[in-house]
Amino acid sequence: MSALTHAVTDSTTMLRRSLRHTLRYPASMVTSLLVPVLLLLLFVGVFGGAINAGMTNSGDYINYIVPGILLVTVGYGSSTTALAVNKDMTEGIIDRFRTMAITRGSVLSGHVLAATIRTMASLTLVVGVALLMGFRPTTDPVRWVAAIGVVLLLVLALTWLAVAIGLASPTAEGTTGFLLLVQMLPFISSAFVAPETMSGSVRWFAHNQPFTPIIDTLRGLLMDTPVGDRGLVAVAWSAGLALLGYLWARTAFNRPPRP
Partner 1 sequence: MATTPFPSAITATGLSKSFGDHVVLDGIDLDVPRATVFALLGPNGSGKTTTVRILSTLIRADGGQATVAGHDLDREAAAVRGAIGVTGQFSAVDGLLTGEENLQLMADLQHLGRAEGRRRTADLLERFDLLDAAKKTAATYSGGMRRRLDLAMTLVGDPSVIFLDEPTTGLDPRSRRTMWQIIRRLVAGGVTVFLTTQYLEEADALADRIAVIDHGKVVATGTADELKRQIPGGHIRVRFADAAGLDAAARVFDGSSRDDEALTLRVPGDGGVRSMRALLDRLDAVEAEVADLSVHTPDLDDVFFALTGTPTGTPTGSPTGTPAGNPKANPTGARAGADTTEPTTEKETAR
> Which of 57, 92, 199, 229 is close enough to bind partner 1 by CB under 8 A?
92
**With binding defined as CB under 8 A, does residue 38 bind partner 1?**
no
Q: What dihedral do alpha carbons 145, 149, 152, 157 form, nearest 10°?
A: -170
Distance CA 55, CA 59 (A): 9
Positions in 101-140 near partner 1 (CB under 8 A): 101-102
Taking Cα atoms as reference points, which of 176, 178, 203, 199 lies closest to residue 189? 203
Stretch that binds partner 1, among 6-14, 128-136, 147-155, 207-215 (CB under 8 A): 6-14
* 8 A C-beta contact, residue 83 and residue 28: yes
Q: By CB under 8 A, what part of segment 144-163 binds partner 1?
A: none
Q: Does 2 bind partner 1 (CB under 8 A)?
A: no
Least distance to partner 1, CB of residue 82, Å: 16
DSSP H or E run through 164: helix 141-168
Is 30 a binder of partner 1 (CB under 8 A)?
A: no
Name the 3-class secondary structure at 118.
helix
- Residue 49: Cβ within 10 Å count: 10
| Residue 200 or 256 having the CB closest to partner 1 | 256
CB of 71 to partner 1, least distance (A): 29
Cβ atoms < 10 Å from Cβ of 170: 10
Q: Does residue 203 sit in helix, strand or coil?
A: helix
Question: Site for partner 1 (CB under 8 A): which residue of 13, 176, 183, 209?
Answer: 13
| 1 binding partner 1? (CB under 8 A) | yes
Cβ neighbour number for residue 251 with a 10 Å cutoff = 12
Among 9, 21, 186, 39, residue whose Cα is nearest residue 118 = 21
In the complex with partner 1, the residue whose CB is nearer, 64 or 253, is: 253
Asked whether position 25 contacts partner 1 by CB under 8 A, the answer is: yes
User: Is residue 46 involved in binding partner 1 (CB under 8 A)?
Assistant: no
- The nearer residue to partner 1, 99 or 199, going by C-beta atoms, is 99
The CA distance from 31 to 56, in Å, is 34
Q: Does 4 sit near partner 1 (CB under 8 A)?
A: no
Which residue in the set 34, 42, 59, 98 belongs to the binding site for partner 1 (CB under 8 A)?
98
> In the complex with partner 1, which residue's Cβ is closer, 58 or 98?
98
For position 200 contacting partner 1 by CB under 8 A, the verdict is no
Residues 49-78 that bind partner 1 (CB under 8 A): none
Residue among 33, 55, 42, 35 at smallest CA distance from 219: 55
Least separation in angstroms between CB 101 and partner 1: 4
| The binder of partner 1 chosen from 46, 95, 224, 240 (CB under 8 A) | 95
Residue 97 touching partner 1 (CB under 8 A): yes
Torsion of CA 163, 167, 170, 171, to 10 degrees: 40
